[in-house]
Amino acid sequence: MTANINIPSLSTLPVELIYRILNMLDNETILFSFGNVCKRFRSIIHTYNQYKLNFQSVSKPYFHLICSLIHPENIISLTLSNDNQTPNQIKLFLLFFQIQQFICLRSLTLIDIDDGSHFIFCNVSS
C-alpha cells in the first residue's frame, strides 16, 4: 500500500513565504528569472514591495530596462548617480517617474547631485 504524500512545491507556497524568499534575492533574479517561471510568480513580483535599487555605475540600457519593469510604489531604497559613468541619470530617472510615486521609499541616495537636481527635495515629504 502506497501512501499518497503531498509534497509542497514552490508554486504552492503562501505569498508571505515567497516574499521572504524574494527578500534574499537580488533584483535581477527576481525580475528576470523568478518572474518568468509562471503567471502566479509574475503577479507576486508586481506586488512585492521591498525592492532596493542601486543605479550607481549601471549601463543606460540596463537602467531603461529596470525603469520599464519596476513599479515605483514597490521601491523602499533608491540610489541614483550623476557621476562620470552615469551622467544626468537623476534627470533621466525623473522623466520616468515622479518622486511622489515612491510611497514606500525609506532611503534615497543621490550621488554627485548638481544644482539643477535640488528641486527633488522640494517634493519629498517626511
pLDDT tens digits for the chain (126 residues)? Answer: 566 777 778 888 999 999 999 999 999 999 999 888 899 999 999 999 999 999 999 999 999 999 999 999 999 999 999 998 989 999 899 999 998 999 999 999 999 987 766 666 665 555
Closest CA to 93 of 120, 122, 73: 120
Cα separation of 92 and 63, whole Å? 10
**Residue with C-alpha cell 509562471?**
38
Radius of gyration (Cα) for the chain, nearest Å? 18
SS3 87: coil
- The sheet carrying 75-81 orders its strands as 51-54, 75-81, 107-111
Measured between alpha carbons, how far is 40 from 35 in angstroms, rounded to an integer? 9
The per-residue pLDDT for 21 is 95
Q: At what angle do helices 39-47 and 15-22 cross, to 10 degrees?
A: 70
pTM for this model (two decimals)? 0.83
